[in-house]
Amino acid sequence: MSDTNTNSTVTETSHVPVVLIENVNPNVRNMEYAVRGPIVARAAEIDAEIKSGVKKPFAKVLPANIGDCHATGQTPITFIRQVIALCAYPELLTSPEFPADAKDRAKRILAGCRGGSIGSYTASPGVEVIRQDIAAYIEKRDGVPSKSEDIVLCTGASDGIKTILSMLMTGKTGNERAGIMIPVPQYPLYSATLTEYNAQPIRYFMNEENNWSLDISELRRAIEEAKSKCLPRAICVINPGNPTGQVLTRQNIEDVIKFAHDERLMILSDEVYQHNVYAKGSEFFSFKKVLMEMGAPYNRHELASFMSASKGFMGECGFRGGYFEVVNFHPSVKACLLKTISVKLCPPVAGQAVIDCVVNPPVLGDPSYDLFMKEKTHVLSQLKEKATLVTELFNSIEGIKCNTVQGAMYSFPQIFLPPKAIEAAKAKSQTPDSFYCFSLLEETGLCVVPGSGFGQKEGTYHFRMTILPPLEEIRIQVNIVI
């Protein structure tokens, strides 16, 4: 007994941690995700200081760093929440408080779940009736066929993007590792994931001078420079853009498809903001629609497109609902994809139900139709108004230039910093745009993300601000900047 106690004491007092930061996977160590970085941490501290009575030049911190719709005050869509409530607690199906179409939708979803419960595992690609509804939605949107067996539900679009990227890795290092073309500026998910996977980012710059359009000459430059460093496998396109808010023209999309075909690159089309188009003359075209309408040989090219319940008019970030459609995948590759996702068991079933409400909403004549359309129209009209307001406000400030926010949920203005500010940033070991964003937070309470977290041309400085907070709050906070 005494020997055991002695050994236990020695072990407890001499233990050295097995996992130290020095031996954590270096790819994980090197990952960065700007939208939840140190500025956001400081914003939380300031918020706590205000609540404790510390006086600031502003009444509250305005969180404009992340596309979290409901966190900034957006009201949930009633129909979606009713269906989720009914799915989660089927006893409510007998309640007269819920409209018949919400009950019908919940019954359809529950009938597709094992045991009639969203608490059970689903098939790894998702509930079959929901996949059928998604295929019908895509077919109606694009005017080209879509099949449920090509649909995979996932834990938000991010999970789907990472799944497809993982399949494109070569498993090799050096100039034989996978290269993935990503836009600059880009949503940090892409750069972070490529760092995690030890892949080579092939950065192509969006044309800021032409409202963040996409130039094929720039794609060619980027891939030619990368070919000696990696094996290019795919091109990622975000449309409408994050953080830039641009909406690609149909011609732009055709050019990208031709480029991808010529260079034998798979296309990853991030289309999570497809409902968020505001500017006059802008229109959303899915890559699948354009690809199919271009005809042979382009209509046989491989494509994966991604959609989410977190954006659009619904903004249901917390449910982590998303899906992707694979187009023209070889049967053996699709089988490998299904094997890959089976390891995750299934995506959240409540999130799958939210997606079903998005792709299969109330139609004219349904009891919920009028309220649904009123709420959807209100959210999108408010976002359109805020897109115009933010563009105009930033362009009225000396030293800031902002392209028109055509779509998505963000502005990405360029800031022109004096040499003294750049020197002050260096003295603090900060990038100039980070120095600006920290100062902006401390002086105005406006929490935004430095452009360096998304990528930008050398010598230029930006920040990303969401257009999600209430109109009046945006006016108040930006007017403090002015």
Contacting residues for 20 by C-beta, under 8 A, at least 6 apart: none
Hey, what amino acid is at 465? M
If phi > 0 it is left, if psi is from -120 to 50 it is alpha, else beta; for residue 348 that is beta
pLDDT in tens, the chain (482 residues): 445 554 545 555 677 777 767 777 776 666 665 556 788 888 888 989 998 888 888 888 888 888 888 888 889 999 999 999 999 999 999 999 999 999 999 999 999 999 999 999 999 999 999 999 999 999 999 999 999 999 999 999 999 999 999 999 998 889 999 999 999 998 888 998 999 899 999 999 999 999 999 999 999 999 999 999 999 999 999 999 999 999 999 999 999 999 999 999 999 999 999 999 999 899 999 999 999 999 999 999 999 999 999 999 999 999 999 999 999 999 999 999 999 998 888 999 999 999 999 999 999 999 999 999 999 999 999 999 999 998 998 998 889 999 999 999 999 999 999 999 888 988 888 889 999 999 989 888 888 999 988 889 988 999 999 998 887 777 766 665 55
pLDDT at 83: 97
Lookup result for tokens 């994809």: 337
Instruction: Please work out, in degrees rounded to the nearest 5, the angle formed at the alpha carbon of residue 10 by the alpha carbons of 6 and 14.
Output: 175
pLDDT at 95: 95
Cα separations (Å) of 304 from 267, 268, 285, 351, 471? 6, 5, 15, 20, 36
Kindly state the tokens that stand for 211: 């409202």
Q: Among candidates 204, 183, 206, 179, which has minimal Cα distance to 194?
A: 179
Residue 473: Cβ within 10 Å count: 16
Phi/psi of residue 377, nearest 5 degrees:
-65, -40
pTM score: 0.88
pLDDT at 480: 58
CA distance 192 to 28: 9
pLDDT at 16: 76
- Note whether 39 and 449 are within 8 A (CB): yes
CA distance 59 to 104: 46
| Helices 250-263 and 216-226, packing angle to 10 deg | 20
Lookup result for tokens 């044309």: 207
CA distance 224 to 251: 23
- What count of Cα atoms within 13 Å lies in the side-chain half-sphere of residue 279? 20
pLDDT at 160: 94
pLDDT at 235: 97
CA distance 43 to 58: 13
